[in-house]
């Protein structure tokens, strides 16, 4: 077995010098005087864990998502795990989720004690709703749809399936802050929706952090308990639980970014529309299905292309940080061996993983950089 270590420092080095980069954190936090001032004030009042700033940011986040309650937690992964645990998901239960997602979605299900049951995806890269009911068994207890790259799933119909089969819904909305579909946001048609504030998410902090939103008072109160050791107060533990508190320092960073969120969102959408318009002219490129009645917020800009690996290498040689999100679907990962899925079980997911590529689309990408990227792609395909 390959030696396991912290691979991230070397990974950062691989692309840090590329001028058109997925990483925009230097630009995002170039002027952080206000954040540092607030952190300095925090050093005087010292409420580092679940401090007053956490409370105020939770209220703002609930308002942004049109939900009654928001709970700050340690990460988007924890948000999914804690939601499932609070709903009573346990060992022996099954949870349905798409085979094309980030590892955290499946890891969260497993950490809650359940078995992940995979379903293929549709042309919009989200879960194929027509396949969900075929995967339901007497052990199925929940569905975890994923709003891939910031495009909301068809939650109205997923809700109908869940209601008919008495299943919970926990939305993996880690890509989808400010995303809408038919004028609804994540959280409206589910038991909870889970968001990530990883440094490269649309709403980001200086490390890990996440939010859970819900309209259920009972679930909200359960989540408050299990994110903080099950404590009602300093001396009374109602249930034995873990620790997934949102640090006050991260809440300070999030609060400052919330003020910029509308601008962040609009610029990403603008950049993606330019890509869509120009790249749709190239026959070797397939753009995932878009919906007129939705606001797709583009955590990443993903397209299917021919000669994917050669195109990726070519773009990197031209200074463009092209990436693959992700080359292997979840059912074919080594960690999924025990579930006995096989190659060919989810053909659409497998096809996407072989052909998908991601281009930098964040709010600091300039029009000049967009056109340079487009022209490089056209040149590669000799258009």
In the chain, the domains with their CATH numbers are: 33-258 (3.40.640.10), 261-380 (3.90.1150.10)
> From CA 195, how far away is CA 79, in angstroms rounded?
7
Classified as helix, coil or strand, 150 is: helix
What is the pLDDT, as a whole number, of residue 12?
86
What is the pLDDT, as a whole number, of residue 376?
98
Residue owning tokens 């990460």: 75
Question: pLDDT digit of tens for each residue in the chain (383 aa)?
Answer: 578 899 889 888 888 899 999 999 999 999 999 999 999 999 999 999 999 999 999 999 999 999 999 999 999 999 999 999 999 999 999 999 999 999 999 999 999 999 999 999 999 999 999 999 999 999 999 999 999 999 999 999 999 999 999 999 999 999 999 999 999 999 999 999 999 999 999 999 999 999 999 999 999 999 999 999 999 999 999 999 999 999 999 999 999 999 999 999 999 999 999 999 999 999 999 999 999 999 999 999 999 999 999 999 999 999 999 999 999 999 999 999 999 999 999 999 999 999 999 999 999 999 999 999 999 999 999 87
Q: Rounded to 10 degrees, what is the CA torsion of 183, 188, 190, 196?
A: 80
- Give CA separation, 50 vs 57, 143, 177, 223, 297, in Å: 11, 30, 22, 14, 29
What is the pLDDT, as a whole number, of residue 323?
97
What is the pLDDT, as a whole number, of residue 305?
98
What is the pLDDT, as a whole number, of residue 248?
98
User: Quick one: DSSP state of residue 247?
Assistant: B
> By C-alpha distance, which of 357, 342, 382, 369 is closest to 274?
369
DSSP string, 102-115: -HHHHHHHHHTTPE
- The rounded radius of gyration (Å) of the Cα atoms in the chain is 21
Q: Are 279 and 287 in contact (CB under 8 A)?
A: yes
**Residue 181: CB atoms within 10 Å:** 22
């Amino acid at each position: 077995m390959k030696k396991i270590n912290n691979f991230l420092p070397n990974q950062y080095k691989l692309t840090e010098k590329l001028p058109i980069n997925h990483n925009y954190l230097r630009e995002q936090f170039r002027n952080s005087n206000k954040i540092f001032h607030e952190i300095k004030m925090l050093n005087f009042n010292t409420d580092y864990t679940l401090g007053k700033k956490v409370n105020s940011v939770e209220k703002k986040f609930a308002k942004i998502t049109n939900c009654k309650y928001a709970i700050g937690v340690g990460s988007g992964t924890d948000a999914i795990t804690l939601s499932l645990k609070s709903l009573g998901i346990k060992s022996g239960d099954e949870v349905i989720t798409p085979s094309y997602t980030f590892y955290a979605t499946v890891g969260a299900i497993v950490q809650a004690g359940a078995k992940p049951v995979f379903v293929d995806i549709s042309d919009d890269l989200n879960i194929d709703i027509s396949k969900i009911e075929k995967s339901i068994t007497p052990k199925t207890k929940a569905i975890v749809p994923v709003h891939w790259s910031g495009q909301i799933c068809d939650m109205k119909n997923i809700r109908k399936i869940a209601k008919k089969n008495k299943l919970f819904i926990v939305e993996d909305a880690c890509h989808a802050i400010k995303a809408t579909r038919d004028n609804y946001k994540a959280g409206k048609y589910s038991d909870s929706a889970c968001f990530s504030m990883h440094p490269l998410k649309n709403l980001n902090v200086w490390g890990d952090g996440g939010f859970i939103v819900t309209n259920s008072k009972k679930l909200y109160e359960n989540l408050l308990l299990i994110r903080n050791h099950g404590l009602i107060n300093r001396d009374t533990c109602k249930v034995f639980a873990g620790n997934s508190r949102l640090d006050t320092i991260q809440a300070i960073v999030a609060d400052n970014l919330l003020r910029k969120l509308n601008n962040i969102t609009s610029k990403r959408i603008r950049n993606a529309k330019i890509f869509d318009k120009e790249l749709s002219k190239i026959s070797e490129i397939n753009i995932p299905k878009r919906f007129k009645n939705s606001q797709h917020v583009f955590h990443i800009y993903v397209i299917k292309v021919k000669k994917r690996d050669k195109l990726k290498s070519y773009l990197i040689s031209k200074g463009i940080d092209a990436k693959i999100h992700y080359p292997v679907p979840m059912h074919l990962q080594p960690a999924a061996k025990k579930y006995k899925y096989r190659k060919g079980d989810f053909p659409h997911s497998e096809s996407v993983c072989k052909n998908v590529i991601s281009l930098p689309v964040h709010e600091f990408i300039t029009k000049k950089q967009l056109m340079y990227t487009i022209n490089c792609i056209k040149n590669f395909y000799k258009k």
